[in-house]
């Protein structure tokens, strides 16, 4: 048997339930009444598993599906959303595995889509940093780049740099040394390598 050691209100409709001063999860107040859950009282293993398998897991799966209706999420982003909802780790893993099994979440596909969207305006380093921040692994990012084909029209980084130079109204023919160095610093901070920056600047004739 386990003991309900604390019940804390987190909203008008929901509470945080703590078992044995350790595991926590959220329930609706109406569910406390339905399952006769009270602070300092014991909870049977049967009821515990019912809450996990029939209540929380079902709710976590539905939460994932509803989130994915509006936009794509990475595995990490979904786990973060569920963790914010106080779902137990085991429930989070099962719910995310559920949507992955149907192909609703695919980190490599997400990365490919992001690369196709940003690949013509940002450096690879910028894109990789952004994808890592979304919880996508370096391996999945590398695989996504490998799978990106010419049909997705990814511009080479020198071409992206030249577009940025045009946008910045940089005239390579008349630029002073200080202006050139300032532009090099700007491009370097954007994540472009120095060799590609120098190559693009050398090929630019405005």
Contact 105, 92 (CB under 8 A): no
Longest dimension (CA), the chain: 81
Domain map of the chain by residue range?
2-101, 107-152, 157-203
Per-residue pLDDT of the chain in tens (206 residues, 90 and over written 9): 899 999 999 999 999 999 999 999 999 999 999 999 999 999 999 999 999 999 999 999 999 999 999 899 999 999 999 999 999 999 999 999 999 999 999 999 999 989 988 887 888 899 999 999 999 999 999 999 888 855 455 567 777 888 888 888 888 777 888 888 888 888 888 888 788 888 878 754 43
Phi-psi region of 169 (alpha: psi -120 to 50; beta: other; left: phi over 0): left
- pTM for the model stands at 0.73
The separation between CA 201 and the C-alpha centre of its own chain, rounded to angstroms, equals 35
Domain 2-101 classification at class level: mainly alpha
CA distance readout (Å), 200 to 37, 104, 158, 162, 165: 68, 40, 5, 6, 9
């Amino acid at each position: 048997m386990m003991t309900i050691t604390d019940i804390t209100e987190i909203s008008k409709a929901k509470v945080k339930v703590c078992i044995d001063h350790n595991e926590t999860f959220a329930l609706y107040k109406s569910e406390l009444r339905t399952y006769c859950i009270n602070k300092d009282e014991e909870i049977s293993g049967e009821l515990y598993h019912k809450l996990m398998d029939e209540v929380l897991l079902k709710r976590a799966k539905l939460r994932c599906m509803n989130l994915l209706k509006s936009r794509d999420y990475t595995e990490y982003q979904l786990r973060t959303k569920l963790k914010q909802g106080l779902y137990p780790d085991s429930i989070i893993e099962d719910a995310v595995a559920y949507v992955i099994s149907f192909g609703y979440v695919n980190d490599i596909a997400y990365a490919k889509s992001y690369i196709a969207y940003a690949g013509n305006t940002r450096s690879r380093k910028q894109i990789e940093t952004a994808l890592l921040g979304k919880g996508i692994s370096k391996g999945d990012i590398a695989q996504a780049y490998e799978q990106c084909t010419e049909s997705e029209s990814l511009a080479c980084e020198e071409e992206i740099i030249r577009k940025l130079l045009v946008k910045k109204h940089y005239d390579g023919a008349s630029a002073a040394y200080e202006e050139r160095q300032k532009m090099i610093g700007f491009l370097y901070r954007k994540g472009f390598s120095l060799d590609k920056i120098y190559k693009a600047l050398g090929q630019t004739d405005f």
